[in-house]
């Protein structure tokens, strides 16, 4: 494939490395303050764009790709308020957007594990549930998009809980999320069930960006030959 990278920070460089290892070509990189490159002729030669930038930039970046007929894979979180508009456009056949809060295959398995555990734990009402996430100090949104996805996955199996909240104060009918920003931590998410007699802990810890980058390239390969609004469920459920 020919790939445009929108966002050329640490994540962009790792994606470039893995994409090239898989035989793909990076035809253009667009970084902060380089919006003029969306008009570069190389942009429209691409099979797909991969976008990892900042919440304030993601909507415009993805819109520009869709407007130019280029499928786009976005891993930027923190812009959920504007996402429904682009989802509707893609579902109407106007373009292709593959979005996920986390492209790690391990995280996708972790989500499935937590859905099943949340269902099982309904049989044990004496446990208090909490979610904790830690990321590097450069991450702008809190809680992380992965933590929100994880919370929503758990809540789908726990009807007695009425939502999640970013707080360190436990509330009876709310799933609390605690967010930490420390050093260069790639991403750690922990779900804890605590009772008066024991504790159950489920943790996913990323060792680096490689797992996220590989998933994003796999998503780009999928998006290059599929259309509409796409997610990791589509990628993982393909034959």
Choice among 2, 10, 82, 139 that is catalytic: 139
DSSP character at residue 52: -
| 56 CB burial (10 A radius; 0-12, 13-18, 19+) | exposed
**Is 139 part of the annotated catalytic residue set?**
yes
Q: Would you give per-residue pLDDT tens digits along the chain (239 residues)?
A: 999 999 999 999 999 999 999 999 999 999 988 999 999 999 999 999 999 999 999 999 999 999 999 999 999 988 999 999 999 999 999 999 999 989 999 999 999 999 999 999 999 889 999 999 999 998 888 999 899 999 999 999 999 999 999 998 877 899 999 999 999 999 999 999 999 999 999 999 999 999 999 999 999 999 999 999 999 999 988 65
HSE, side-chain direction, 13 A CA sphere, residue 92: 8
Alpha helices, DSSP H, located in 81-231: 83-91, 105-120, 145-155, 210-223
The token pair that represents 48 in the structure block: 């797909």
- At residue 131's C-alpha, the angle toward residues 128 and 133, to 5°, is 155
HSE, side-chain direction, 13 A CA sphere, residue 8: 15
**Is 135 part of the annotated catalytic residue set?**
yes
Choice among 135, 136, 180, 189 that is catalytic: 135
Q: pTM for this one? A: 0.84
pLDDT for the residue numbered 107? 94
């Amino acid at each position: 494939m020919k790939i445009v990278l929108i966002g050329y920070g640490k994540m962009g460089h790792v994606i470039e490395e893995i994409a090239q290892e898989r035989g793909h070509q990076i035809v253009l990189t667009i970084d902060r303050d380089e919006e003029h490159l969306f008009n570069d002729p190389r942009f429209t030669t691409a099979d797909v764009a991969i976008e990892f930038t900042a919440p304030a930039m993601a909507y415009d970046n993805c819109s520009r790709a869709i407007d130019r007929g280029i499928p786009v894979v976005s891993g930027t979180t923190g812009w959920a308020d504007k996402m429904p508009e682009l989802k509707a456009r893609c579902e109407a056949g106007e373009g292709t957007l593959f979005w996920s809060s986390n492209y790690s295959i391990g995280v996708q398995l972790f989500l499935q594990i937590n859905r099943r555990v949340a269902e099982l734990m309904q049989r044990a009402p004496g446990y208090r549930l909490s979610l904790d996430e830690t990321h590097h100090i450069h991450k702008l949104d809190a809680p992380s998009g992965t933590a929100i996805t994880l919370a929503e996955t758990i809540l789908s199996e726990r009807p007695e809980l009425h939502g999640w909240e970013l707080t360190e104060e436990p509330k009876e009918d709310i799933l609390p999320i605690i967010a930490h920003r420390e050093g260069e931590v790639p991403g750690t998410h922990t779900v804890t069930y605590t009772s008066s007699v024991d504790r159950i802990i489920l943790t996913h810890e990323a060792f680096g960006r490689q797992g996220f980058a590989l998933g994003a390239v796999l998503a780009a390969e999928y998006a290059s030959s599929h259309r509409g609004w796409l997610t990791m469920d589509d990628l993982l459920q393909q034959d």
